[in-house]
Amino acid sequence: MRREFILPEDDICFLDSLGLAWETYIESNSQWLIIFGVSIPKGYNVESTDVAINIPPGYPVAQLDMAFFFPILNRIDNVAINATSHHQQINFKTWQRWSRHRPPNHPWIPGVDSIGTHLLYIINWLEKEVHGLNT
């Protein structure tokens, strides 16, 4: 697995604890974390997906935002998923961007929030979407 930039040690420990392959990748001046084979809630066209997270300059003080999925996710009930786009190119693949953001009452807190808390937000978005509780 590629490690083209270094994450904070706490994030590395968290990612390793998942038991999933992951890598850091730089493309067009953007830093990406890609986590392979993340299990997702039932109700989608796949049981697991790769998740890409853009790691902004200044992370971990700068907040993480949104998530990108490959393969593209669809609900099995054919209900459209709002605030997505299917055209983000990362590592020669077309990823689906989910435009989801932290609400004002749950801002990013440096020193508390991390890749781990962001991944929890991502799973929460997926659960809310498939249960009709749109974020």
Map out the domains of the chain as residue ranges.
Answer: 9-130
DSSP 55-123: E-TTTTTSPP--EEEESPP-BTT-PPPSSEEEEEEETTEEEEEE-----TTS---BTTB-HHHHHHHHH
Q: What is the pLDDT of residue 87?
A: 84
Q: How far is CA 19 from the centre of its chain?
A: 16
Tens digits of per-residue pLDDT, 46-89?
999 999 999 999 999 999 999 999 999 999 999 999 999 978 99
Q: What is the pLDDT of residue 134?
A: 65
Extract the tokens encoding 89: 């190119």
pTM for the model stands at 0.94
- Residue owning tokens 């781990």: 116
Give the confidence band of 122 by pLDDT, cuts at 50, 70, 90: very high
| 77/123 Cα distance (integer angstroms) | 19
Q: Is the pLDDT of residue 127 over 90?
A: yes
Average pLDDT, the chain: 94
Tens digits of per-residue pLDDT, 15-28?
999 999 999 999 99
Q: What is the pLDDT of residue 1?
A: 87
